[in-house]
Copies of this chain bind each other. A is one copy, B any other.
Amino acid sequence: MASEGEDSPKLRYVQNPYIETMDEDILFHLNMSTKTHNFKELFGDVKFVCIGGSPSRMLTVAKYLAQELSYHVPSNFELTNMTKSSDRFVLYKVGPVISASHGVGVPSMSVLLLELLKLLSHAEAKDVTLFRLGTSGGIGVEPGTVVVTSEPLNGLGMPKYEQIILGERVTSEAVLDEELGDSIKNCQPADLDFDVVRGKTICANDFYQEQGRVDGAICNHTEEDKFRYLEKLQKLGVRNFEMECVALAAITRKVKLKAAVVCVTLLNRMKGDQVTTPHSTLTEYEKRPAMVVARYMLNELQRQQN
């Protein structure tokens, strides 16, 4: 198995013996292939991967990182969506950073992540760290708070990623790098007026019923049931709901890729279900995960150069 500790393993972030035997590897949803793309030349220097749901947000992240990390970005830099005619996901490269979109939910995110792992491996990139920069529904925290996930939990409250493979249920441990999460939290900028907190995160498979909302097209529970559930979660240390974290944690753990989930909360679910925050405020909130993670990346890049 490929691991950070070994000397240049052939496919570092892949755990599949078949890949090495393939004449060509087509990354279908990224619209790239080992026959048409020189992955080593294009992505060999990647140190950080930022992924998030929305394509336009990940373009904004790419532009922001081009500014913030300017020292580490080549002078002839141009921002191009490298997936081109594939409109499933966007992917930008900014110096040593990839910024890519993963859509909504575990299945969509897993497609992007699994293809990124092959991309990084074919590129022989190493010592890579991955961040999900997301939006989320807060539980008992002020809207605009950034939550760095301490423990990703499925809807049953377990740190598990459940798949059905060849007709059988298969469960993997969903664990994120604790030290990485703590370091990101410690990047909380003193000059910025929002909180960065560590907290557990529930990974829901829909936006409405699985997050206890009573404003979806289908709802069989009462508002009282909802509040009982949210209060129970709050007591367990859960600070937000999103829709990808258990799969992200389980997949990255399996291939020994360090990863963190950093989400801003758009609302406090203890106060309502609908996102009534004005659009301009939401846009402001959405920048925050990248602001925190950019500090972490700058620190790391400077540390590696010294």
Contact = CB atoms under 8 A, between A and B. Distances in A.
Interface of A: 13-19, 22, 24-26, 28-29, 53-57, 85, 87-88, 103-108, 110-111, 113-115, 117-118, 121, 154-157, 163-167, 169, 204-210, 212, 214-221, 223, 225-226, 229, 232, 243, 251, 254-255, 274-276, 279
Given A85-B279, A88-B53, A165-B210, A219 B104 contact: no
Given A164-B210, A210-B164, A25 B88 contact: no
A206 B111 contact: yes
Contacts of A217: 13-16, 19, 113-115, 117-118, 121, 251, 255
Contact of A254 (B163, B206, B218, B243): B218
A270 to B, nearest CB: 15
22 contacts: A14-B217, A15-B217, A16-B218, A19-B217, A22-B274, A25-B274, A28-B207, A107-B108, A107-B204, A107-B205, A107-B207, A110-B208, A114-B206, A114-B217, A155-B163, A155-B167, A164-B205, A166-B221, A167-B229, A167-B232, A217-B255, A218-B251
Nearest to A56: B87
Contact of A205 (B106, B156, B212): B106
A219 B16 contact: yes
A108 B111 contact: no
Nearest to A279: B85
Contacts of A107: 104-108, 204-207, 243
